[in-house]
Amino acid sequence: MRHVTEPSASIPGLLKKLSRRAEWAGGAPIANILMARTLAQPDVISLAAGFVEHNSLPVEWVEEAFRRIWANRSHALAALQYGTTSGYLPLREAILERLRQADGLSAAEHRASVDQMVITAGSNQLLYLLAEALLDPGDIVLCGAPSYFVFLGLIQSLGARTVGVATDYQGLIPEALEDRLDELERHGELDRVKAIYVASYFDNPTGVSLAADRRAALVEIAHRWSRRHRIYIIEDWAYRDLRYEGEDIRSVWTHDVSGETVIVTGSFSKSFSPGLRVGWGLLPRSLLEPVLALKGHLDFGSANFNQVVLATVLQNGWFDKHVTRLRAIYHEKVATIVSALESYLPPILDVHYEAPKGGLYVWVRLPEEIDTGVDGPLFQAAVNEGVLYVPGEYCFPAEGEPVRRHYLRLSFAMPDCDRLRCGVERLSRALRAVVQCD
């Protein structure tokens, strides 16, 4: 008879036998570190973590939704049961209808169908599933330089590569995308390119929206370069609902006549409640089966109850009321942080930022000699002053464009206006200490 012995920590090396995936994942992602620090040190003003305004979280609307669900016992029982892998049908229908309205399409023009809509545990889960469905180790996703750093990290955690494309204050530059594809082809790597990632509304970290006249160009380029296989565009709408100025722009997705190139991902985290963890995606038909199969292995459906709550909130028009209120709150915060930056930042410094028209971030460029990284002098000085920011270097893809170390991302969502002003004042004291000006 064979004896099975328990693995023992005393056998050298045994505990180090992790998978390659675990090694690629590296240490704790920077987002987790910043979030943990924000929660652990309430006296520190966090302009770093991507949290939303705490006091405006929709307690009353969620309570009202509970009441509605509880009023009908069979509805309540169904809500507490497992759901389906693709998600709660009334929620998927409600989201699809919102998409149609957001893009100003008639029912006849809207060619998406509800079976292409998938609900996930936050849109991050969908981004992960898409990456799993599309990428083998060594494959490439083209991303703006800079881009949403959690996305960059998740691609790398799968052993795939992020290659940067230049951006400006109108988002990803189509000519630069074309040049990057051309370069990859010359290096025999075009077959490795599987997707282009773009957060098309109030990007994280820049707050910039992709210009209307670049949207069709992006789809045209993806089509034209899809030679031996399709190059998908992942259009991330995480911040589309949070517009404080100007008119909404039609999505990149509307330019995809085939319906097979653009994947849309969206989220209720920023516009309603991140605690509910409800995200969604509108997928080309070719990706439905693989993504649902992967999700089936992972969790066979995200929290059903949360989806029923959100469907109730949407169906009763409470979501729109909440978003209207949020827009007013964040609009005031944008004005506060921008005026604090104008008042407090040392005037002798060459600092640049654009006042965002939506989203939750201000992207600040400092003089090139100021390293904003966690091991640089500014970050330490900021921690000493009691303020946190996201160092810009995390937001740059690993290849393609240079990693720039003199940017930082400020998030204005969580602190109230007084703390926002105070946070910027602390940051400017840290800056003065580093450049030694008065």
Ligand X SMILES: Cc1ncc(COP(=O)(O)O)c(C=O)c1O
Size of the site for ligand X (CB under 6 A): 13
- 204 binds ligand X per the rule CB under 6 A: yes
CB nearer to ligand X: pick between 34 and 434: 34
Among 199, 282, 313, 314, binds ligand X (CB under 6 A): 199
Residue among 199 and 410 whose Cβ is closer to ligand X: 199
Q: Whose CA is closest to 270, among 167, 150, 361, 155?
A: 361
Checking DSSP bridges between strand 278-282 and strand 262-267, what pairing results, if any?
antiparallel
As measured in angstroms, the least distance from the Cβ of 131 to ligand X is 13
Residue at token pair 């309430």: 42
- Distance, CA of 389 to chain centre: 17
Taking the complex as a whole, the smallest distance from the CB of residue 359 to ligand X amounts, in Å, to 8
Binding residue for ligand X, selected from 30, 50, 91, 410, defined by CB under 6 A: 50
Residue 282 bridge partners (DSSP): 117, 264
CB 171 within 8 A of CB 214: yes
Residue 236 binding ligand X, by CB under 6 A: yes
Amino acid at 272: F
Q: Of 209, 267, 307, 312, which one interacts with ligand X (CB under 6 A)?
A: 267
Tokens of 423: 């946070």
- Measured CA distances, 63 to 79, 81, 246 (Å): 15, 20, 33
Check binding of 279 to ligand X (CB under 6 A): yes
> Is 274 or 373 the residue whose CB approaches ligand X more closely?
274
- Measured from the CB atom, the residue of 96 and 413 that comes closer to ligand X is 413
Q: Cis (ω within 30 of 0) for the bond into 29?
A: no
166: left (phi over 0), alpha (psi -120 to 50) or beta: beta
Name 146's Cβ contacts closer than 8 Å, sequence gap at least 6.
167, 205, 206, 363, 392, 395, 396, 404, 407
Residue 333: CA atoms inside 13 Å, Cβ hemisphere, count?
28
Cβ 206 to ligand X shortest distance, Å: 11
Nearer to ligand X, 206 or 372 (CB): 206
In angstroms, give the least distance from the CB of 432 to ligand X: 30
The sheet carrying 407-411 orders its strands as: 361-365, 407-411, 390-391
CB of 229 to ligand X, least distance (A): 25
The answer to whether the beta carbons of residues 122 and 277 sit under 8 Å apart is yes
Report the SS3 class of residue 320. Answer: helix
CB of 328 to ligand X, least distance (A): 21
- Closest residue to ligand X, based on beta-carbon distance: 122
Please tell me whether residue 148 binds ligand X under the rule CB under 6 A.
Answer: yes
Of the candidates 162, 200, 206, 269, which one interacts with ligand X according to CB under 6 A?
269
123 lies in the binding site for ligand X (CB under 6 A): yes
Q: Which region among 79-87, 120-128, 132-140, 177-185 touches ligand X (by CB under 6 A)? A: 120-128
From the CB of 322, what's the least distance to ligand X, in Å? 16
CB 419 within 8 A of CB 338: no
User: Is residue 124 within the footprint of ligand X (CB under 6 A)?
Assistant: yes
238 touches ligand X (CB under 6 A): yes
Question: Any residues with CB less than 8 A from the CB of 4 and at least 6 apart, and which?
Answer: none
Tell me the window of 35-43, 121-129, 136-144, 341-349 that interacts with ligand X (CB under 6 A).
Answer: 121-129
Summarize as ranges the residues that interact with ligand X (CB under 6 A): 50, 122-124, 148, 199, 204, 236, 238, 267, 269, 274, 279
